[in-house]
Protein backbone atom coordinates (compact mmCIF):
# COMPACT_ATOMS: atom_id res chain seq x y z
CA UNK A 1 0.00 0.00 0.00
CA UNK A 2 1.15 3.54 -0.71
CA UNK A 3 1.53 6.38 1.73
CA UNK A 4 -1.69 8.36 2.25
CA UNK A 5 -1.34 12.12 2.71
CA UNK A 6 -2.60 13.51 6.01
CA UNK A 7 -5.70 15.64 5.28
CA UNK A 8 -4.82 17.97 8.18
CA UNK A 9 -1.40 18.80 6.74
CA UNK A 10 -2.47 21.66 4.39
CA UNK A 11 -4.34 23.38 7.22
CA UNK A 12 -1.38 23.04 9.61
CA UNK A 13 0.99 24.36 6.92
CA UNK A 14 -1.22 27.46 6.54
CA UNK A 15 -1.39 27.94 10.34
CA UNK A 16 2.40 27.65 10.55
CA UNK A 17 2.92 30.28 7.83
CA UNK A 18 0.56 32.67 9.64
CA UNK A 19 2.13 32.10 13.07
CA UNK A 20 5.79 32.22 12.02
CA UNK A 21 5.68 34.28 8.82
CA UNK A 22 7.32 31.57 6.69
CA UNK A 23 6.64 28.00 5.66
CA UNK A 24 7.95 25.27 7.96
CA UNK A 25 11.14 23.37 7.24
CA UNK A 26 10.46 20.35 5.04
CA UNK A 27 9.59 16.96 6.52
CA UNK A 28 8.13 18.14 9.84
CA UNK A 29 5.31 15.91 11.03
CA UNK A 30 1.82 17.28 11.50
CA UNK A 31 1.97 16.33 15.18
CA UNK A 32 5.24 18.23 15.70
CA UNK A 33 3.91 21.31 13.87
CA UNK A 34 0.70 21.25 15.94
CA UNK A 35 2.74 21.06 19.14
CA UNK A 36 4.96 23.95 18.00
CA UNK A 37 1.88 26.01 17.12
CA UNK A 38 0.35 25.26 20.53
CA UNK A 39 3.59 26.33 22.24
CA UNK A 40 3.74 29.54 20.17
CA UNK A 41 0.15 30.37 21.16
CA UNK A 42 1.00 29.70 24.82
CA UNK A 43 4.01 32.01 24.58
CA UNK A 44 1.86 34.78 23.12
CA UNK A 45 -0.64 34.38 25.96
CA UNK A 46 1.82 33.98 28.83
CA UNK A 47 4.89 35.83 27.60
CA UNK A 48 7.18 32.92 26.81
CA UNK A 49 10.53 32.28 28.39
CA UNK A 50 12.20 34.96 30.50
CA UNK A 51 14.72 37.13 28.63
CA UNK A 52 17.80 35.69 30.40
CA UNK A 53 16.73 32.18 29.45
CA UNK A 54 16.18 33.21 25.81
CA UNK A 55 19.64 34.83 25.73
CA UNK A 56 21.27 31.74 27.24
CA UNK A 57 19.53 29.44 24.74
CA UNK A 58 20.58 31.68 21.84
CA UNK A 59 24.21 31.52 22.98
CA UNK A 60 24.01 27.74 23.26
CA UNK A 61 22.46 27.56 19.78
CA UNK A 62 25.41 29.60 18.49
CA UNK A 63 27.77 26.89 19.74
CA UNK A 64 28.75 27.99 23.24
CA UNK A 65 28.90 25.23 25.81
CA UNK A 66 26.40 25.25 28.65
CA UNK A 67 29.23 25.59 31.17
CA UNK A 68 30.34 28.91 29.60
CA UNK A 69 26.89 30.51 29.32
CA UNK A 70 25.97 32.73 32.28
CA UNK A 71 22.48 31.76 33.39
CA UNK A 72 22.15 34.36 36.14
CA UNK A 73 19.53 32.23 37.83
CA UNK A 74 18.35 33.72 41.09
CA UNK A 75 18.15 31.30 43.98
CA UNK A 76 14.72 30.32 45.23
CA UNK A 77 13.77 32.26 48.32
CA UNK A 78 15.83 35.33 47.40
CA UNK A 79 14.05 38.63 48.10
CA UNK A 80 14.61 41.89 46.26
CA UNK A 81 13.48 45.21 47.68
CA UNK A 82 13.18 48.49 45.81
CA UNK A 83 11.69 51.81 46.75
CA UNK A 84 10.04 53.73 43.96
CA UNK A 85 8.11 57.01 44.31
CA UNK A 86 7.69 56.58 48.06
CA UNK A 87 6.52 52.96 47.98
CA UNK A 88 8.61 49.93 48.91
CA UNK A 89 8.26 46.90 46.61
CA UNK A 90 9.28 43.41 47.72
CA UNK A 91 9.84 40.62 45.21
CA UNK A 92 10.45 36.95 46.05
CA UNK A 93 12.12 34.43 43.75
CA UNK A 94 9.77 31.42 43.58
CA UNK A 95 9.33 28.34 41.41
CA UNK A 96 8.25 29.56 37.98
CA UNK A 97 9.36 33.17 38.31
CA UNK A 98 8.87 36.00 40.74
CA UNK A 99 6.13 36.93 43.18
CA UNK A 100 5.12 40.44 44.16
CA UNK A 101 1.94 41.48 45.96
CA UNK A 102 0.55 37.95 45.62
CA UNK A 103 0.93 37.94 41.84
CA UNK A 104 3.30 35.83 39.73
CA UNK A 105 5.59 37.52 37.21
CA UNK A 106 7.79 35.91 34.52
CA UNK A 107 10.70 38.33 34.97
CA UNK A 108 12.10 41.20 36.98
CA UNK A 109 11.79 43.34 33.86
CA UNK A 110 8.03 42.73 33.75
CA UNK A 111 7.81 43.82 37.38
CA UNK A 112 9.94 46.92 36.76
CA UNK A 113 7.71 47.89 33.84
CA UNK A 114 4.61 47.40 35.99
CA UNK A 115 6.05 49.57 38.76
CA UNK A 116 7.40 52.38 36.59
CA UNK A 117 5.13 52.28 33.56
CA UNK A 118 8.16 52.22 31.25
CA UNK A 119 10.51 49.59 29.91
CA UNK A 120 13.39 48.87 32.28
CA UNK A 121 16.02 46.21 32.66
CA UNK A 122 14.67 44.37 35.69
CA UNK A 123 18.10 43.42 37.04
CA UNK A 124 19.24 47.05 36.68
CA UNK A 125 16.05 48.38 38.29
CA UNK A 126 16.59 46.15 41.32
CA UNK A 127 20.31 47.04 41.52
CA UNK A 128 21.67 43.67 40.37
CA UNK A 129 23.87 45.03 37.60
CA UNK A 130 26.51 47.69 37.61
CA UNK A 131 25.98 50.80 35.54
CA UNK A 132 29.11 51.57 33.56
CA UNK A 133 29.96 55.20 33.16
CA UNK A 134 31.39 56.51 29.95
CA UNK A 135 34.38 58.84 30.31
CA UNK A 136 33.99 62.02 28.30
Residue 69 has pLDDT above 70, yes or no: no
Q: How far apart are CA 55 and CA 69, in angstroms?
A: 9
Query: What's the pLDDT tens digit per position in 75-121?
Result: 778 889 999 999 999 999 888 789 999 999 988 999 999 999 999 88
Predicted pLDDT at 1: 53
Q: In the predicted model, what is the mean pLDDT of the chain? A: 84
DSSP state of 93: E
Predicted pLDDT at 136: 46
User: Structural domain boundaries of the chain?
Assistant: 9-46, 79-125
Amino acid sequence: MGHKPNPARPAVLRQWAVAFGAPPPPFLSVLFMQQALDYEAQCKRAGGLPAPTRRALAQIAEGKTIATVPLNAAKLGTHYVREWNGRTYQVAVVHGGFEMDGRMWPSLSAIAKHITGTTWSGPRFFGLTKVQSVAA
